[in-house]
Amino acid sequence: MKSNYEVGTALTQILREQNERGRSRLSVETLAVMDGATKTLADSGISESCLGPGEVAPAFTLPDVVGEPLSLGGLIAKGPVVLSFYRGGWCPYCSTQFRALQSALSDIRDVGAELVAISPQTPDNTLSTAEKLELTFPVLSDLGNNVAKSFGLVFTLPEDLRSVYEGFGLDIPAANGDDTFQLPIPATFVIDRDGIVAWRFADPDYTKRADPIEVLEVLSKL
């Protein structure tokens, strides 16, 4: 598929290098907590049990950054939809993914599809994320993770990882407006015009994300 999104800027490679740099700055003890949490989440089977190809995507309506409601039904009436669930603007890997998605946005729209991002952040924090990264696609606020739960993506941060995040200066309760410490695993879904999941990427390792190149290949075949 011919694309304006450069192969040389492939998200997978960028994230790998970002992770290597980040890990080099952390202590052995901190890495043990983070890696242990990722392994526990992987062992839970969440990435296999969440909504998958061939299943009907749950209907939802969520507010965008200015409070306007946006529904999945309204979106798929116009064409396929790429749904990207992310942890929050505080996550550097989410920011890197969004920059790549923004770069690929014209290609996504050229094939008649729309890109939408969803996180449990409050509307104000969602707006801040969209403004900071200069995003021109809809970014929605899923307070309480209700939509993410319907897709089977939600987990609770273990207490030792909460302490690590607090040490990084991250305030998850403030970002989400609650003290549940629940987050979605990063996941990307391609939903076809019939509301069926055509493709899914879901990985409990938050440093790994769906590459826009893969998403564009899927969209080209719909």
DSSP letter at 195?
S
- 140, part of any domain: yes
Are 5 and 103 spatial neighbours (Cβ–Cβ below 8 Å)? yes
CATH number at residue 204: 3.40.30.10
What HEC string does 92-124 produce?
A: HHHHHHHHHHHHHHHHHHHCCCEEEEEECCCHH
Mean pLDDT of the chain: 94
Alpha carbons 85 and 50: distance in angstroms, whole number = 12
Residue 2 within any structural domain of the chain: no
* Residue 128 pLDDT grade (very low, low, confident, very high; cuts 50, 70, 90): very high
Going by C-alpha positions, the residue among 126, 137, 183, 151 that lies closest to residue 59 is: 151
Residue 94 lies in a domain: yes
Taking residues 70-83, what's their average pLDDT?
Answer: 97
Residue 1 included in any domain:
no
Domain count, the chain: 1
| Domain span holding position 179 | 7-220
How confident is the model over 145-176, as pLDDT tens digits?
999 999 999 999 999 999 999 999 999 999 99
Q: Which residue has the tokens 């790994």?
A: 208
Given this model, what pLDDT does residue 40 score? Answer: 97
Spatial contact of 186 and 94, defined as CB atoms under 8 Å apart: yes
Helix (H, G, I), strand (E, B) or coil at 139: strand
Please answer whether residues 133 and 103 qualify as being in contact, where contact means their C-beta atoms are separated by less than 8 angstroms. Answer: no
62 is a domain residue: yes
